[in-house]
Amino acid sequence: MNMHCKPRCGKFILLAIVGIAALGWLVMALWNWLMPALFFGAKEIDYLQAMGVLVLSKILFGGIRGHCGHGRWHHQRWQQMTPEEREKFQAGMRGWCDKPKQEVPIATEPPRD
């Protein structure tokens, strides 16, 4: 991991944790606002129960798939790219939490038979 990655990755991880916590609070607030009013006998839930509801809904409705379930779309998109578009995309991604890829010199002379 290079030196430029640590602050950027740390900010991303912190933002992800804050986002998940805020989403849990939102689930709790919406549940406590709607469910007791709509359904007789429904009780208010606390924060940990709201996080459990969030995880359960992800398992039931979103599945447990890597890459947010968009792997097939990314593969199709990659197959449709020209070699120049692929190189441009890879060049843009090299700086994100990765060591720069070393350039391979391209031979200017044609191969000899």
Tens digit of each residue's pLDDT (9 = 90 or more) over 13-22: 999 999 999 9
Instruction: Round to whole Å and give the CA distance between 78 and 36.
Output: 48
Tell whether 110 is covered by a domain: no
Domain that holds residue 29: 5-66
Tell whether 16 is covered by a domain: yes
CA Rg value for the chain: 23
Please compute, for residue 17, the number of CA atoms within 13 A of its CA located in the half-sphere on the CB side: 6
94: helix, coil or strand?
Answer: coil
Tell whether 62 is covered by a domain: yes
Tell whether 21 is covered by a domain: yes
Tell whether 91 is covered by a domain: no
Tell whether 95 is covered by a domain: no
Predicted TM-score (pTM) above 0.85: no
| 25 pLDDT tier (thresholds 50, 70, 90) | very high
- How many structural domains compose the chain? 1
Instruction: Round to whole Å and give the CA distance between 113 and 111.
Output: 7
